[in-house]
Structure 1
């Protein structure tokens, strides 16, 4: 797979064109200060039309082109085509690579990436849409809130507010100007290029404003889940060395709790948004009014947000946006390889690791979004996901690609829980056509809205165009149900935080093959490899450095791996070069591979070219679409005064809704009598953990043990705990019980087992 930077494709002549300047020799006119080309005659080289319009990408208008005779067609490879194509229909049917930063060689069917040397995610998602008035007025965010402004067909009332791309950019301009001035920042520059800032918000219109503002400034943005507890927040804010944070009042209180424990010395300012009816931009009267005008209605808060014990400044974000309304900001120029986003992993083998991604990660995601979403973008597309925008699935599988393409995104804060009835109402009311819905959510929808007609003859409840899903296997039954109830099937995809959306199925790809995850998304080279212990010298006579691997044969189980380089691939882990090095291996051909840590096989015969995900190759727990590492939960358990030893594992969900549920195996300290070990004690420990980690990381099962099984070297035998735990909860579910004693289980090492009602009993 080739990865081209724009200036490196041919021997080139690089030149600058200013806005409005015309170069007759190349038949190109630059009309934008933000992009390579806004409009130009490309003769007949592009299939879409003889007169093709290109959207801008970044700061300075710069074009690299081959030396061609006067009036000759501009070589196709000399242009990076990246633009909202919602209302552009290729005449010969859908050919996905024409919408994407890919070139296809029709003779070899191979793809090449076209990655510009300079690229900025914020400019690509905001500024590109605001060059022309008709583009700036397009809807970017559809915010649904509780209220009486609107009413859906089901009778449930919503407050609906739409924000255009022009609205988002005016808010972002005010935000960026505020950070640059920051007179109250105590002599601290909050907008240093390459520094980090965090966003701790649910699905709201201000979430993309905050992320894209940081990115336009060249600041690294760090998305954080609203479900994180104080300890989880402290770990991530400290690791990323965040200087600023954007959050709401609930997030502020958790950050204050985290600061009490120390470790947030670099956090200087916390911006707090106004929620609900306190937000003037969500007032029903504001619908149709530019955001800049609504900001003028913002009045200063009467309450004082800062407290004497705060180690950081607390600022009302709406007040500051109002004070800087009407200002303009030009995005800073960034290279495509410059750091842009830090997304923390699940912490499988230790504390959560910060995966650092470059600005190019957005371009690398586009094929993996377009194919499972059946050729997005298309006219009328409206995108929504119930997943938090703080995860790579919500942020880079939905929000940023949609904004890049000009597709409206629905924002609905669901309060940290998934409600099937609410989800269907959102789809109906907002006119959602495309969705990213995690497998657990699909299974909950299926349980709540079963097929009314087994033969599928009944009319679907909604008519969606496409649904993508990933994180765990969906299953054939769910796909068939989705067609009958949601109006379309489900396209699965595969990836991880470090290298996302590399396998899948969908528009333009080979047909879905039951039992197989899919084929490589165009642009990515995926294979199955096996690590080898080979420290011998390479064929070149030079000593081989790092891990070595060999490519597996068809049907041979090994690690799923992605060939380096790849624009969707991370730059590395924050302050962890050893973990970064261990993430890669080199084979005898010289190719470097990113190791996913997941086991899989590649097919043969009729399944040739397909890949199947087999299992996790580590201790990660797959719960409701989340990948959860045990380390952070075990740390919280160890802080409990009564806990001596603990191990956290995932056990099979007996209700078959969430793949696995979290089980905490606990050895209490000496002096705790067996009579004190009961359901109340288990609930108290589970509650203790839930208050310190993310809500979805709270254990659903607590097992009190006399000791933990270990190897001769002292390593905990997690597989033993996992297998016995799965048997225990299955038996408890069969009996309809939430507690069992060690005698009933028949294990002398087990004292008592407790499970939440929802873990072993159906709703």
Structure 2
């Protein structure tokens, strides 16, 4: 171990540019062989194992250490709600219950290794239980936000060929309405009290299921997760992540960006439908042996977040920049965050002013990080680094992050270009495997020797990366990534809409919001604009997920187009942002 520390520290210092205070208390860095082993893989000091399964190789190891008294007294999982209910699981209890759930998936639902299951649940304990159960069985886990409509669910079921869907009583009717179109669906599992015709009930099955289950042996590069991501020119794409990409890939960012150890309790507010929930509510904390804290929080309320941070011994907090912005506008002076010591954020650019206000009100810095559905953390302001307000931080091992031009050539410091990750000659193991059933999209994501993120940025002389904007049309509103195509598709279904273009528009609270430029059908030109705007907004909420609706609507006579007739969203976007 001493040889490893000596060889690794200089390398990490070169990568991070960090002062030696990063390594204050080396015994804290290496509190577990689990953390150091997988961190060594990220540092390219060890080869990626041929076989890896997060449930058996990480969670069950923490359970073993728990039994011999080498783990902290914190639970592995701690869930609360506004009614005062709590659920706490140790790693041993998580293992016991997830084995039961694994048997339910295999026996009651009839699923086999490699089958795909869609899980659409809010922040309830069963979501985490089923996540681990899928790992144990080799079943591919696909998560979806509870705001999905019947149309959204139908598309995801058909595109993924999922054989099972798991949801609650609220969304069960939407699932039932699309079943005739979903020929691959074989079973439906309900997470709710009471029975429903045609559905299996998870609670009832857990009561009688056996906990005798042997975890399957999965290869490191076997598929573990599929995530749907919005695109600018089509329907959501399916991003495939392997057992190692997320299972091992978050070791470094979990330890050095999130600053997690087995003594920590981490609360991440992300919705279960977003990959950030996998990042910060599953893999990063659990690979570090930390406690995953969850508040069911059906709606974002600053007072609930402040009260929760004050009431519970949460040491590490993660939420989107928009939430921090709303929190610093709330009166935090009457709260005392006695345990809070580290804060992180991502998903959208963080305003330096918000960072400064948070530090004044809480005494804690916010460490911004950056990544995508296709990656783990690419860049971050690591613990111990000098924080450059407004920057994404520096590249996180094992990524070689560069700013490249449209031909894949590396640009000098200070020049704007595409934020990219080197994938040739060696592709980092913690990159996505492919866009499922879309080889053209997979191939198009690589330019020269680099995977191009689609985001524009600048790298300064010190190696910090600064976000400039997106190269595509994706709208990032309060951390929700929204593809304009889906919103446009919803709007054109309304008889009032002849043509439409959807772009981002600046917003002081959400960073940016959806704006629709609409050419009306002749019969609707004389309608009241305010009433018609409201009608169209409600229409979008019904057709697709409500968070995608256009908060701004402008009626126009025509839309800018190319000579071939393609709508030029860029022209409208530049107008909105004052770039022309």
Give TM-score, length-normalised by structure 2. 0.89
Matches within 5 A, 1:208-223: 208-223=128-143
| Aligned-pair CA distance for 1:472 | 2.0
| Aligned-pair CA distance for 1:136 | 11
Selected match of 1:710 from 552, 561, 567: 561
- Give the Cα–Cα distance (whole angstroms) in 1 for the partners of residues 529 and 357 of structure 2: 42
- Structure 2 unaligned regions, length at least 5: 7-23
1:115 aligns to what SS in structure 2?
A: coil
Q: Is the 8 A contact 1:663 1:725 kept in 2?
A: no
Look up the match of 1:120. 53
Cα pair distance change 1:489/1:696, threshold 3 Å: same
| Aligned-pair CA distance for 1:422 | 0.6
Selected match of 1:449 from 317, 320, 331: 331
Residues 304-342 of structure 1: CA deviation (Å, up to 9, x unaligned): x12xxxxxx411111111121x43101100011001101
Look up the match of 2:351. 475
Q: Is the 8 A contact 2:39 2:251 kept in 1?
A: no
Look up the match of 2:380. 504
1:669 aligns with 2:555: no
Matches within 5 A, 1:183-194: 190-194=110-114
Cα pair distance change 1:685/1:113, threshold 3 Å: farther
Look up the match of 1:625. 479
Look up the match of 1:430. 312
1:250 aligns to what SS in structure 2?
A: coil
| Aligned-pair CA distance for 1:726 | 5.5
- Give the Cα–Cα distance (whole angstroms) in 1 for the partners of residues 165 and 502 of structure 2: 31
| Aligned-pair CA distance for 1:47 | 5.8
Cα pair distance change 1:462/1:649, threshold 3 Å: farther
Residues 461-507 of structure 1: CA deviation (Å, up to 9, x unaligned): 55411111112221222222222323311001111111231101121
1:270 aligns with 2:188: yes
Look up the match of 1:690. 541
- Give the Cα–Cα distance (whole angstroms) in 2 for the partners of residues 160 and 172 of structure 1: 18
Selected match of 1:368 from 243, 253, 270: 253
Look up the match of 2:550. 699
- Give the Cα–Cα distance (whole angstroms) in 2 for the partners of residues 244 and 125 of structure 1: 26
1:129 aligns with 2:62: yes
1:255 aligns with 2:137: no
Look up the match of 1:139. 75
- Give the Cα–Cα distance (whole angstroms) in 2 for the partners of residues 687 and 705 of structure 1: 20
Cα pair distance change 1:45/1:328, threshold 3 Å: farther
- Give the Cα–Cα distance (whole angstroms) in 2 for the partners of residues 94 and 130 of structure 1: 20
Selected match of 1:583 from 429, 432, 445: 445
- Give the Cα–Cα distance (whole angstroms) in 1 for the partners of residues 495 and 175 of structure 2: 23
Cα pair distance change 1:603/1:257, threshold 3 Å: same
Quick check: which one's helix share is greater?
2
Selected match of 1:346 from 214, 220, 230: 230
1:270 aligns to what SS in structure 2?
A: strand
| Aligned-pair CA distance for 1:94 | 4.2
- Give the Cα–Cα distance (whole angstroms) in 2 for the partners of residues 100 and 695 of structure 1: 43
- Give the Cα–Cα distance (whole angstroms) in 2 for the partners of residues 242 and 235 of structure 1: 11
Look up the match of 2:18. none
Look up the match of 1:286. none
| Aligned-pair CA distance for 1:267 | 1.5
- Give the Cα–Cα distance (whole angstroms) in 2 for the partners of residues 683 and 663 of structure 1: 13
1:558 aligns with 2:417: yes
Give TM-score, length-normalised by structure 1. 0.68
2:297 aligns to what SS in structure 1?
A: coil
| Aligned-pair CA distance for 1:624 | 0.5
Cα pair distance change 1:391/1:333, threshold 3 Å: same
| Aligned-pair CA distance for 1:460 | 5.4
- Give the Cα–Cα distance (whole angstroms) in 1 for the partners of residues 511 and 125 of structure 2: 32
- Give the Cα–Cα distance (whole angstroms) in 1 for the partners of residues 181 and 335 of structure 2: 56
Look up the match of 2:434. 572
1:321 aligns to what SS in structure 2?
A: helix
| Aligned-pair CA distance for 1:344 | 1.1
Cα pair distance change 1:726/1:499, threshold 3 Å: same
| Aligned-pair CA distance for 1:593 | 1.5
Cα pair distance change 1:680/1:726, threshold 3 Å: farther
Look up the match of 1:651. 505
| Aligned-pair CA distance for 1:449 | 2.7
Look up the match of 1:495. 371
- Give the Cα–Cα distance (whole angstroms) in 1 for the partners of residues 133 and 215 of structure 2: 9
Q: Is the 8 A contact 1:372 1:467 kept in 2?
A: no
Higher RCO (C-alpha 8 Å, min separation 6): 2
Cα pair distance change 1:99/1:251, threshold 3 Å: farther
Selected match of 1:314 from 188, 199, 204: 199
Residues 240-274 of structure 1: CA deviation (Å, up to 9, x unaligned): 11111221111212222343xx5322112121112
Cα pair distance change 1:226/1:331, threshold 3 Å: same
- Give the Cα–Cα distance (whole angstroms) in 1 for the partners of residues 156 and 216 of structure 2: 26
- Give the Cα–Cα distance (whole angstroms) in 2 for the partners of residues 161 and 461 of structure 1: 22
Selected match of 2:389 from 497, 511, 514: 514
Look up the match of 2:96. 170
Cα pair distance change 1:371/1:47, threshold 3 Å: closer
Residues 53-88 of structure 1: CA deviation (Å, up to 9, x unaligned): xxxxxxxxxxxxxxxxxxxxxxxxxxxxxxxxxxxx
1:231 aligns to what SS in structure 2?
A: helix
| Aligned-pair CA distance for 1:91 | 4.7
Look up the match of 1:546. none
- Structure 1 unaligned regions, length at least 5: 1-41, 49-88, 148-157, 279-300, 307-312, 453-457, 533-548, 587-591, 728-763
1:398 aligns to what SS in structure 2?
A: helix
2:50 aligns to what SS in structure 1?
A: coil
1:421 aligns with 2:303: yes
| Aligned-pair CA distance for 1:669 | 2.3
- Give the Cα–Cα distance (whole angstroms) in 1 for the partners of residues 37 and 272 of structure 2: 23
- Give the Cα–Cα distance (whole angstroms) in 2 for the partners of residues 131 and 94 of structure 1: 20
| Aligned-pair CA distance for 1:393 | 1.0
Q: Superposition RMSD on alpha carbons, in Å?
A: 2.6
2:518 aligns to what SS in structure 1?
A: strand
1:615 aligns to what SS in structure 2?
A: strand
Look up the match of 2:458. 601
Q: Is the 8 A contact 1:140 1:406 kept in 2?
A: yes
Look up the match of 2:570. 719
